[in-house]
Structure 1
């Protein structure tokens, strides 16, 4: 249009001139970021440059550095006041650490953040190995104010209950339960926890050798689990697992809906609001409906959560049958049921199961076999052992942890003997000594279990910074499995049914017919469940082609 042509002609050349105005300061800043390991795309985004421009600057590194050496004193003075690459990296890693602390609802103060910033800066500077003059950083209050403004951070205060302060939340909860007429079977709590799925006691040779290998990154063996159950202790929810890869090689050939965990991915291996909301809508609510129907209960539940950032505030609006209540920040760590021993006991079970797995696979005597087994121990092995460990937690344990927040519902005053941490540690040491790990003592096991609760170390934060994005990790990603349609599944069921009819009409006796029917029912039960998931929105249910004698068996296999 005639009226717009002059405006475009004025704007476009002006934008081009701005992109070309790249000062020596900016070029040096690009080179500094490359030196500390930042990727081309990260630098371009941070400095508002085109990726091709950043690549050109990188390719002309020597020429740019030569020009900087003959720069005027005025320019040199201005450059010294520019924020250094090490400062930029430190603040970026500090922000990741703050996100992790916030995810786990850890109380923070200005002093704690300043101390972390100083330790991160010192470690980054040591990593540089003296490639440039030492830079001083004191993590002053002035720096913190500017850091807070740059990243839009909230006000940080210590969030804890003062000694002698009486927590009123149990009384509030009791009122909610009485008014809603919830039974212990209908009240739930879930909580996130990190798990280093391939971490062993430090003194063991497989741990020492693994860390010595080039390319070892401890942050890559970290995942997040959402664990929970009801106050009665008779129903544990299927764990939600968040890993840093969506399709690791170890999962190639597996159907994710049939894993013993709910598999989701996030680059930093933690839950997001989107992941949590999806879990609530498509897994928690249907699981509650099924559980209530099986136990002849009204389809309703009360879900108790802490105020972690990944827990959306509108969850209660997504279901007419589930009420969501949030714990007070200052008391969440003190009373949240899953935080009163469930997660730590689970991790002890996981460690014991891992040692059992090694013993079963290698007989525990040949160190070469153990070394080879551990090298190939994958995330899929971890998933299987997570499922076993979670299953091993007893009802007494799941019920007893509610005594601080709802003592009236507690029937078991202490955890089950099989869930006793000290006993589990003894079992782990015994298993280790039955193999080639005679050097392992209970103190090593205790130290490892405690380390599972630690936050991200400076080393792990730097590793996360260096890890490529999901697109760049395509070599580790298996192609997505083709999903069967309901029509294909239905056709397959028809073929099975026709085959069973042929066998039944020609079998020499009822015993053979029953054996074959049971075997087929067990073999294809996972596909029947997949059909139900896909057709849940439809009014019709999947064709039940195995009736009569196999009905009971099918119901048992779905539990």
Structure 2
């Protein structure tokens, strides 16, 4: 066309995306991984390929294998060496275990990883039967180096050193940061992740015994992650962030996620990720701090103290002009971090206590569900409700006293004992358990259950969780649940019923004080629905 300069051929060539040569070695590695049970997306990520490329290689499996047989004997024997299914499964489970350790900021050594690998290999080999007993595996250092390369493992802490003088010096460091920023105890926060097996009963109960005897995935292995935290004053607890392996479980059908008492997020392995944490910080933490400061006539600023877990982004301070983020040293985080000093363990005791209360409420009396029926129907939505109640139960004394090691000057409840508090809760749980016919439960069983939330994943748990996650990957994504909604017409009808009922009570009430008290209580109770009604009417007018 006139007036247009032709594009230079070198420009055209450079605009094209460079083609990456896929060698026979890479193609055979793709096929080996695929036959070992890995997903297309996992293989693509591990080898730095596009998912479509991996799929094409899979579809041309026969041609590629034929090509490998034409290669020189030395090359062919090196490329087509077969690794057993036991080895493939062991390394996959070991990768899951390592990721779980990293998520919980657990320091590791090469010897610990080698020991876990050998243990997994032996258990998997035993499960396979006699046919696989001939294969030997010593978990050598050479294997470990190749394992890291095959699975593209990120850097993780090795050979943890004992805590140094940082434990003693960090309170002084924190004090200088607080003085510099002029923060009050109300403006200093800490949050930490913790795992919760939301459907687990004490060992020895008939529910626990019966579940172990049943085949398939055990519901007591189903774990979720919670991010819990609050300020140093102890008067403000943040709304818990919950990460589950399913975005739309059937139990949540009909519920609006934004209106849940937790912030609901999902990850196929129920782990927090940098993306989830980034979103939480930007859209939940910062606005919550701003609102709290406004309500308490405080300057809108805060100091957030975090450990250096992999899911905590390092640039959070850049995302807000009002929130400063400080990271604890790896060697001291577990020793001084406030939320690790009793908040998580106290919350879990309250959760178990609330679960038993829920069980007793549902099964106590005639024509009520049996304990087995209750537990069979106890789902993740019940757990969410009980998590909210348990979190609400934590008192300011609990939230404030855990700052004793890191900021002793801010602690007001000096005589409060976390240990005594948890002991009382365990005793209450035992009493409730006996009222629910679990006569065999003793305090040691309760303590063991509470401790089990923080234990390493066993080989059996890794195998079962992998099966559950693999099944979840293969299922299609659930359709978004239909939300429960109240129309203006339905609200109007409900109000008319309330008014008719009030009219009957007030016109026949023998006591004027009763009349005003009941009227005030009912009007206060339904006021939130009146606000919803007015908002819907306002929007309707705007649209029209």
Corresponding residue for residue 276 of structure 1: 277
CA contact (8 A) 1:337 1:401 kept: yes
- Return the alpha-carbon distance in structure 2 between the equivalents of residues 341 and 134 of structure 1: 48
Cα displacement string for residues 419-466 of structure 1 (whole angstroms, at most 9, x for unaligned residues): 711111111111111122111111111111111111222222223332
Distance 1:526 1:88, change over 3 A: farther
Are residues 1:521 and 2:527 paired? yes
What is the CA deviation profile of residues 199-252 of structure 1, one whole-angstrom value per residue up to 9, with x for unaligned ones? 111211111222333322357620000000110101111100000000101111
Pairing of 1:157-196 with structure 2 (within 5 A)? 157-162=158-163, 167-196=168-197
Root mean square deviation of aligned Cα: 4.4
1:213–1:244 distance in 2 versus 1, CA, 3 Å: same
> Unaligned 5+ residue runs, structure 1?
532-540, 544-559
How far is the alpha carbon of 1:193 from its aligned partner?
Answer: 0.2
In the other structure, the counterpart of 2:351 is: 350
Q: Deviations over 1:508-559 (max 9, x none)?
A: 999698666434313366789x99xxxxxxxxx999xxxxxxxxxxxxxxxx
Q: What is the aligned residue count?
A: 508
Q: 1:483 to 1:160 in 2, by over 3 A?
A: farther
**SS in structure 2 opposite 1:168?**
helix
Measured after TM superposition, the shift of residue 257 of structure 1 is 1.0
Aligned 8 A contact 2:197 2:453 in 1: yes
**TM-score, structure 2 normalization:** 0.80
CA, structure 1 residues 130+98, in 2 after alignment: closer, same or farther (shift >3 Å)? Answer: same
CA shift for structure 1 position 289:
1.0
Q: Give the superposition deviation at 1:394.
A: 1.0
SS of the aligned residue for 1:420 comes to helix
Structure 1 position 385 matched with structure 2 position 391: no
> Whole-Å Cα distance in 2 between the matches of residues 261 and 428 of structure 1?
24
**C-alpha distance in 2, partners of 1:356/1:483?**
28
Which residues of 2 match residues 367-406 of structure 1 at below 5 A? 369-406=370-407
Structure 1 CA distance, aligned partners of 2:95 and 2:436?
43
Match of 2:430 in 1: 429
Structure 2 residue aligned with 1:140: 140
- Whether the 8 Å CA contact 2:491–2:529 is kept in 1: the answer is no
Summarize deviations over 1:311-334 as a string: whole Å, max 9, x none.
Answer: 111111111111111111111111
Between the aligned partners of 1:341 and 1:518, the Cα distance in structure 2 is 37
Q: What are the ranges of 5 or more consecutive residues in structure 2 without an aligned counterpart?
A: 1-6, 508-514
Q: Give 1:33-48 correspondences, 5 Å limit.
A: 33=36
Rounded Cα–Cα distance in structure 1 between residues aligned with 2:419 and 2:529: 33
Kept after mapping to 2: 8 A contact 1:293/1:299: yes
Q: Secondary structure at the match of 2:305?
A: strand
Q: Is the 8 A contact 1:300 1:321 kept in 2?
A: yes
- Alpha-carbon spacing, 1:145–1:56, altered in 2? closer, same or farther (3 Å): closer
1:130 deviates by 3.1
Change (3 A) 1:527 1:231: farther
The answer to whether the 8 A contact 1:191-1:338 is kept is yes
Tell me the residue number matched to 1:473.
Answer: 475
Contact 1:299 1:321 in 2 (8 A): yes
Task: Find the aligned partners of 2:183 and 2:26 in 1 and give their Cα distance.
Answer: 66
Query: Retained in 1: the 8 A contact 2:167–2:332?
Result: no
In the alignment, which residue of structure 1 is the partner of 2:123?
A: 123
Q: Does 1:259 align with 2:260?
A: yes
Any idea what SS the aligned residue of 2:370 has? helix
Q: Secondary structure at the match of 1:191?
A: strand
Q: 1:334 to 1:51 in 2, by over 3 A?
A: same
Q: 2-side partners of 1:196 and 1:495: how far apart?
A: 39
Residues 379 and 483 of structure 1: CA distance in aligned 2, closer, same or farther (over 3 Å):
closer
Provide the residue aligned with 1:108 in structure 2: 108
Q: Is the 8 A contact 1:174 1:406 kept in 2?
A: yes
**Could you say which residue in structure 2 is the equivalent of 1:363?**
364
**How far apart are 1:158 and its partner, in Å?**
3.2
Q: Aligned partners of 1:42, 1:166: CA distance in 2, in Å? A: 40
Q: Secondary structure at the match of 2:470?
A: coil
- 1:92 and 2:92 correspond: yes
Tell me what 1:460 maps to: 461
